[in-house]
């Protein structure tokens, strides 16, 4: 409850003693004082909108830069397609150095890995005991009749000790596989029992192997103990049987005999790897052609990226007279400059090609709205002259930029916009600096407004107190006046 002290003339609620609406007066005054802060807040909203818009511009320019990269790379124009008359027998993959043409292949035999197997009926299963001692494995090549063995250059003997705890068929298999000797071992089980099969890890005649045995029973050549796993026919010690000899692939390419250790012919023809699936009964033709579809896809991607940037810039810089409103970047000098540069880039000519000096000559058409389209007929005709089209798009001339291709020009332009200190990075940095300063200005203004409100509150509280005291005094005087008047009247009546 609000009270008034008649002796002091003070009030406990502003405006009660004076009758003034102090809170409304201060609110009205503060609304006027806050106008500069409102302007700062409005400016901050605009700056954030600008920052977001230029962030989107930066993203679209980056996408255009990515789209320009393939057209700036000469290897793009070396891409090829391959097709095979019999892909199950012969297929091919190419790299940038492949020369388009037809290649005829015949495959008389495929490469193979050497494989040997232990004698039938010697072992029941993987737990069967073989014997102790050591196995020594050496990689190399066998003569056609297996009468001589030539160790592979750079190879060495790999000795595998077999102790009492590992002398089962399964234990020996595991020891061989852990030795990294260039072979692998498996157990083959059928109605006749279990057999140990050992195979070269790689195909090719140079990847054969021999197995020498040091048998703890004292006899390295008999059909008992560890010697049952020997394979060294050159030393007349071969208890294991040759299941498959190591062999190279034998084939012809365009009538030229070739051989390889694997079933892939790589490096025989520059840029082409032929993968051989099976032997052939008649020659298989593999055709290598220029992959102009991939080049067209790259150009289409560039056109799309340019159009995305153009559409955004047009929307962000337009003025709508019907609503009398401007887009966020309408009139912005940086945005206008970028638009002008875009149009200037499209109008340039290059000395890189004597045939295709403009984008239009390659089928890139400028529309009335500033966007681009790719005319299929014109582009296909240009792609038929791939050497000139390659120069027109990817040429780089370090001494004369007028001879740079359009892929290089788009790449250079986008790089200039995006690089540190470039147009876009500089613009966004400037906007961010303005936002930071605006935030500081708002903080300063809020401090000033708080001080102003406190000052006004104090002033009007003092005024209210003074008026309250004056009103109390006036009421007291009036009360005394009426009291005196009443006393005088009463005295006269008594006489």
Whole-number pLDDT of residue 5: 38
Q: Calculate mean pLDDT across residues 164-171.
A: 95
Whether 197 has a pLDDT exceeding 50, the answer reads yes
Whether 11 has a pLDDT exceeding 50, the answer reads no
pLDDT band at 1 (very low <50, low <70, confident <90, very high): very low
Whether 184 has a pLDDT exceeding 60, the answer reads yes
Q: 3 or 83: which carries more pLDDT confidence?
A: 83
436-483, pLDDT tens digit by residue?
999 999 999 999 999 999 898 888 888 877 877 777 777 777 887 787
Of 25-29, 100-104, 346-350, 371-375, the poorest mean pLDDT is in 25-29
304-334, pLDDT tens digit by residue?
999 999 999 999 998 888 878 888 899 899 9
Whole-number pLDDT of residue 323: 79
Whole-number pLDDT of residue 484: 73
392-426, pLDDT tens digit by residue?
999 999 899 999 999 999 999 999 999 998 999 99
Q: CA-to-CA distance for 136 and 151, rounded, in angstroms?
A: 13
Q: Calculate mean pLDDT across residues 260-270.
A: 92
Whether 20 has a pLDDT exceeding 80, the answer reads no
Whole-number pLDDT of residue 474: 75
Pairing of strands 133-142, 80-84: unpaired
| 24-28, 79-83, 255-259, range with greatest mean pLDDT | 255-259
Whether 168 has a pLDDT exceeding 90, the answer reads yes
Q: 464 or 42: which carries more pLDDT confidence?
A: 42
Q: CA-to-CA distance for 43 and 37, rounded, in angstroms?
A: 10
Q: Calculate mean pLDDT across residues 225-230.
A: 95
Whether 9 has a pLDDT exceeding 50, the answer reads no
Whole-number pLDDT of residue 492: 55
Q: What is the mean pLDDT of the chain?
A: 90
Whole-number pLDDT of residue 493: 56
Q: CA-to-CA distance for 435 and 258, rounded, in angstroms?
A: 71
Q: CA-to-CA distance for 385 and 9, rounded, in angstroms?
A: 103
Whether 354 has a pLDDT exceeding 80, the answer reads yes
Pairing of strands 249-253, 101-109: antiparallel
Whole-number pLDDT of residue 324: 83
- How many C-beta atoms surround the C-beta of residue 86 within 10 A? 17
Which residues, at least 6 apart from 441, have a Cβ–Cβ distance to it below 8 Å?
40
Q: CA-to-CA distance for 218 and 228, rounded, in angstroms?
A: 13
77-134, pLDDT tens digit by residue?
888 899 999 999 999 999 877 889 999 999 999 999 999 999 999 999 999 999 999 9
HEC readout, the chain: CCCECCCCCCECCCCCCCCCCHHHHHHHHHHHHCHHHHHHHHHHHHHHHHHHHHHHHHHHHHHHHHHHHHHHCHHHHHCEEEEECCCCCEEEEECCCCCCEEEEEEEEECCECCEEECCCCCECCCCCECCCEEEEEEEEEECCCCCCEEECCCCCCEEEEECHHHCEHHHHHHHHHHCCCCEEEEEEEECCEEEEEEEECCCCHHHEEEEEEEECCCCCCCCCHHHHHCEEHHHCEECCEEEECCECEEEEECCEEEEECCCEEEEEECCEEEEECCCCCCCEEEEEEECHHHHHHHHHHHHHHHHHHHHHHHHHHCEECCCCEECCCCCCHHHHHHHHHHHHHHHCCCCCCCCCCCCHHHCEEECCCCCEEECHHHHHHHHCCHHHHHHHHHCCCCCCHHHCCHHHHHHHHHHHHHCCCCHHHHHHHHHHHHHHHHHHHHHHHHHHHHHHHHHHHHHHHHHHHHHHHHHHHHHHHHHHHHHHHHHHHHHHHHC
268-300, pLDDT tens digit by residue?
999 999 999 999 999 999 999 988 999 999 999
Whether 8 has a pLDDT exceeding 70, the answer reads no
pTM for the whole thing?
Answer: 0.66
Of 276, 265, 258, nearest to 110 (Cα)?
A: 276
pLDDT band at 4 (very low <50, low <70, confident <90, very high): very low
pLDDT band at 39 (very low <50, low <70, confident <90, very high): very high
Q: Calculate mean pLDDT across residues 327-351.
A: 93
Q: Calculate mean pLDDT across residues 155-175.
A: 96
Judge whether 394 and 61 are in contact, CB under 8 Å. Answer: no
Q: Where are the domains of the chain?
A: 43-75+293-425, 80-111+249-290, 115-244
Q: 22 or 223: which carries more pLDDT confidence?
A: 223
Q: Calculate mean pLDDT across residues 205-227.
A: 94
Percentage of the chain modeled with pLDDT above 90: 75
Q: CA-to-CA distance for 283 and 105, rounded, in angstroms?
A: 5
């Amino acid at each position: 409850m609000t009270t008034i002290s008649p002796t002091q003339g003070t009030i406990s609620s502003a405006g009660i003693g004076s009758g003034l609406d102090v809170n409304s007066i201060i609110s009205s005054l503060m609304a006027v004082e806050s106008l500069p802060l409102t302007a700062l807040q409005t400016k901050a909203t605009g700056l954030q909108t600008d920052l977001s818009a230029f962030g989107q511009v930066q993203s679209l320019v980056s996408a255009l830069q990515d789209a320009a990269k393939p057209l700036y790379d000469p290897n793009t124009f070396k891409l090829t397609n391959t097709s095979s008359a019999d892909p199950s027998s012969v297929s091919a993959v190419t790299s940038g150095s492949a020369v388009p043409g037809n290649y005829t292949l015949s495959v008389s035999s495929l490469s193979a890995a050497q494989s040997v197997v232990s004698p039938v009926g010697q072992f029941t299963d993987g737990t069967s005991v073989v014997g102790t001692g050591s196995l020594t494995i050496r990689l190399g090549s066998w003569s056609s009749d297996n009468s001589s063995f030539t160790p592979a250059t750079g190879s060495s003997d790999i000795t595998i000790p077999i102790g009492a705890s590992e002398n089962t068929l399964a234990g020996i298999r595991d020891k061989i596989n852990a030795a990294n000797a260039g072979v692998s071992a498996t157990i083959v089980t059928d109605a006749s029992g279990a057999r140990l099969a050992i195979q070269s890890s790689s195909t090719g005649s140079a990847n054969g192997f021999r197995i020498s045995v040091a048998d703890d029973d004292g006899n390295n050549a008999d059909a008992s103990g560890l010697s049952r796993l020997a394979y060294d026919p050159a030393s007349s010690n071969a208890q294991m049987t040759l299941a498959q000899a190591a062999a190279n692939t034998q084939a012809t390419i365009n009538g030229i005999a070739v051989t390889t250790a694997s079933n892939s012919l790589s490096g025989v023809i520059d840029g082409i790897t032929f993968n051989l699936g099976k032997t052939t009964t008649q020659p298989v033709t593999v055709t290598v052609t220029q992959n102009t579809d991939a080049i067209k896809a790259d150009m289409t991607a560039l056109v799309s990226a340019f159009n995305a940037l153009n559409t955004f810039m047009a929307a962000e810089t337009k003025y709508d007279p019907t609503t009398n409103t401007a887009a966020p970047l309408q009139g912005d000098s940086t945005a206008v400059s970028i638009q002008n540069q875009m149009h200037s880039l499209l109008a340039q000519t290059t000395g890189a090609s004597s045939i295709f000096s403009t984008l239009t000559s390659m089928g890139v058409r400028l529309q009335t709205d500033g966007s681009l389209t790719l005319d299929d007929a014109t582009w296909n005709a240009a792609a038929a002259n791939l050497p000139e089209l390659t120069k027109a798009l990817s040429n780089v001339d370090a001494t004369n930029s007028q001879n740079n291709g359009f892929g290089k020009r788009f790449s250079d332009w986008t790089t200039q916009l995006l690089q540190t200190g470039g147009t876009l990075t500089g613009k966004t940095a400037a906007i961010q600096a303005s936002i930071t300063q605006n935030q500081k200005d708002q903080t300063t203004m809020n401090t000033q407004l708080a001080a102003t409100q406190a000052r006004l509150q104090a002033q009007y509280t003092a005024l209210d107190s003074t008026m309250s005291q004056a009103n109390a005094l006036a009421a007291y005087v009036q009360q005394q006046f009426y009291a005196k008047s009443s006393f005088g009247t009463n005295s006269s009546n008594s006489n």
